[in-house]
Amino acid sequence: MENPPETDRPRRSTTIFSRSSLHQLLAVLRIHIITASYGVTVGWPAPIIPLLRSPETPLPAGPITVEQASWIGATLCIGGTIGTILFALVHTYFGKKVGLLLLPVPHLILWTLILIGDNVWYIYWARFFSGLTGGGVVSVVPLYIADIADKKIRGTLGSLTIIFINIGLVFMYSTGNYLAYRTIPKIMLVAPVAFIVLVSFLPETPACLLRKGKLLEAERSLMYYRNISDERHKTPEFLVEFDELKTFVLSESSKARLRWADFTTPEAKRGLFIGIFVMALNQFSGIFAILTYAGTIFQKSGTGIDPHAALIIVAVLNICGNLTSFTVIDRVGRKILLLVSAAGVGLSLGVLGAHSYLLTAGYDLAGLEWLPVLALSMTLFLGAIGITNVPFFIVPEVMPPKLRSIGSTISATLLCMFAFVCVKLYPIMMETIHIYGTVWISSGVCAVAVVIIIFWIPETKGKNLNVQSESSK
């Protein structure tokens, strides 16, 4: 047989995304409307808490205390813990799409409370409802992406989650000091409505439909997410993928009842350890607390740069780190990014702590006013490469198939609990052991994490999630 002409041969795509991944990308972009909105709530305290603690506070009762400020940060984490469990139950019993469509409900409530509230208790409840959405984001979104994404771009699509959270963060850092206190909720009430309209048109994930016994709908869903318009355009690769998925889900469903023995296999123990470890690193590295209290940190760090401008600088560099991770994660891999991120964050926080210590000790640091901004910028840039985004999609990749859902829920719930501890204690610690003591603790956590990553964290790039491992059979 003669070889086909060069123009008739299928060409291998040299880009990250191909035509077959178009609907996957567009679907993920739609769901990240709510992710970006959640990012606004994550960044909200940074410019607003200094305002609430100042004489210009919009609250009639006057400036809030350090204790009240810590509760404003921490109540989000309480809501996140409850939201993680609540949304895990929703997506387990009703499907990923229902879970996604419920995410905007607490978001609508929180911005309404900010809009009408005239005392700090309204803010506490608003932050609690923000946490419900955040818990849903970390519970539903990674599993939705794992369900619909081709393994070649799963890491890239997973990286978009933290990118969009930080797009919301940049918006808040950029505008929070210039927009009126009650203007921001008026703007943000539009986003949940747009999300509901756009996500309503997405099909349920193929795996969820197969679990409900809807084989034809599951095949059509996979065709949609692989951008296959009709039966005539099914490729051999598509048929193999659907057959693997069907076999995997049916096998999973046939032994769906969890037993204690499922948690005691070597694969399960390692998966749960890694899941808990990466979520602990995500929080105890201090990244989330720093993002929450960035405005206060800049006020106390002795920088000569306008704190408002400094907030924008670090937020933009945070996004740059996300984009770096987005472009290289499916080429470089998860482990190396996590390792570079932990080492870089530990070093940057060490430098920030050293500057704070010398300043507190009375040394003349004239000419080094830029150093805290650089150290914080590098902390957030390097954190965004790995620590803040890799955990959200490495967890489904390291868990045994049977424990993937419950393992992700356990990890995400612990993430919110860890976040509560960090966000509640950070402002109090900055008052008692100063900035240097606080960030040196986080730097030490990163140093320990580097050792654990080197010796215990596997590489999961390109792992097929629809094939049972030998130890889980």
Q: pLDDT-derived band of residue 466, with 50, 70 and 90 as boundaries?
A: low
Which pLDDT does position 436 carry in this prediction? 92
At 343-392, the pLDDT tens digits run 999 999 999 999 999 988 888 888 888 888 889 889 989 998 889 888 87
Q: pLDDT-derived band of residue 465, with 50, 70 and 90 as boundaries?
A: low
State the Cα–Cα distance between residues 412 and 110, nearest whole angstrom: 21
Q: pLDDT-derived band of residue 139, with 50, 70 and 90 as boundaries?
A: confident
Percent of the chain topping pLDDT 70: 92
Q: Which of 33-37, 122-126, 200-204, 313-317 is the least confident region?
A: 313-317
At 395-418, the pLDDT tens digits run 878 888 888 878 888 888 898 899
Give the mean pLDDT of 121-149.
92
Give the mean pLDDT of 173-197.
91
The whole-model pTM stands at 0.77
Which pLDDT does position 6 carry in this prediction? 40
Which pLDDT does position 253 carry in this prediction? 58
Q: pLDDT-derived band of residue 299, with 50, 70 and 90 as boundaries?
A: confident
Give the mean pLDDT of 192-214.
93
Q: Which of 20-29, 315-324, 434-443 is the least confident region?
A: 315-324
pLDDT, greater one: 46 or 16: 46
In degrees, rounded to 5, the angle at the alpha carbon of residue 31 between the alpha carbons of residues 161 and 415 is 40
**Is it the case that residue 189 has pLDDT exceeding 80?**
yes
Nearest to 49 by CA among 420, 331, 307, 417: 307
Which pLDDT does position 280 carry in this prediction? 95
Which pLDDT does position 10 carry in this prediction? 40
Nearest to 410 by CA among 395, 426, 427, 431: 395
Which pLDDT does position 106 carry in this prediction? 95
Which pLDDT does position 235 carry in this prediction? 85
Nearest to 355 by CA among 434, 442, 284: 434
**Is it the case that residue 3 has pLDDT exceeding 70?**
no
Which pLDDT does position 470 carry in this prediction? 44
Give the mean pLDDT of 171-180.
88
Residues 6+ apart with CB under 8 A from 198: 30, 33
Query: Whole-number mean pLDDT of the chain?
Result: 86
Which pLDDT does position 236 carry in this prediction? 87
**Is it the case that residue 472 has pLDDT exceeding 50?**
no
Which pLDDT does position 467 carry in this prediction? 58
Phi-psi region of 249 (alpha: psi -120 to 50; beta: other; left: phi over 0): alpha
* 166, 175 contact by CB (below 8 A): no
Q: pLDDT-derived band of residue 302, with 50, 70 and 90 as boundaries?
A: low
Q: pLDDT-derived band of residue 471, with 50, 70 and 90 as boundaries?
A: very low
From first CA to last CA, the distance across the chain in angstroms is 43
* 419, 77 contact by CB (below 8 A): yes
At 265-279, the pLDDT tens digits run 999 999 999 999 999
At 52-104, the pLDDT tens digits run 999 999 999 899 998 999 899 889 999 999 998 999 899 989 999 999 999 99
Which pLDDT does position 11 carry in this prediction? 42
**Max CA distance (Å), the chain:** 86
